[in-house]
Amino acid sequence: MIIRVFSYNQRHFYAQTYEKMLRARAVVFSGRLNWDVNVVDGKEEDEYDREYNPLYFVAERPDGSHATSMRIIPTTGPTMLRDKFHSFFPDCPDIYSPTIWESTRYCATLRPGEIHYTGELARTLCQTCLENGITHLTGIFFRPMLRIYERAGWPPEPIMSAQLEGKMITLATFDVSQARLDEINKKFALAA
């Protein structure tokens, strides 16, 4: 397993990884979940990719295929919460801090028995955040994602919930700490 961490501005160094991630996002978000996303040439890429230089975390199988991925962007600039989802949450707080980043586009193309990819991605994400002064992540997710986050050892702290097209969405934060990293490591037996 390989975890690749790179920014949008560095994507040309990880061209195959980036393309496989965009293709996986198209399959999952447009094909499987039927989200209203823009897919061009079989790839899903949006303005948050192109304009705000997010940081990507991509777990690849030994054969180089995509297993799971996500991106994070600073809340000091445009975020999906502020620009796309704010109106769904009554009295929604404007989460804005250099130490809080927004996590979006979690994408999994896991096969049975591959939960360890989620654990390694969470471990690398938490470690990277710790090393760079990020104290919290924030995100919006549908109810089924709660089980995935809990299994990863990183349960969210809900702020509020709302309805989106008849489904419950939750705005939450995720703490970043050594204790959280230890819990993720314990959960997946990845402690060094």
Task: Give pLDDT tens digits for 39-86.
Answer: 999 999 999 999 999 999 999 999 999 999 999 999 999 999 999 888
Sign of the torsion angle spanned by Cα atoms 147, 161, 70, 29? positive
Q: In this predicted structure, which of 25-29, 30-34, 129-133, 137-141 has the lowest mean pLDDT?
A: 30-34
pLDDT of residue 153: 85
Query: Starting at the edge strand that comes first in sequence, how are the strands of the sheet with 66-74 ordered?
Result: 2-7, 55-60, 66-74, 100-108, 136-142, 167-175, 157-164
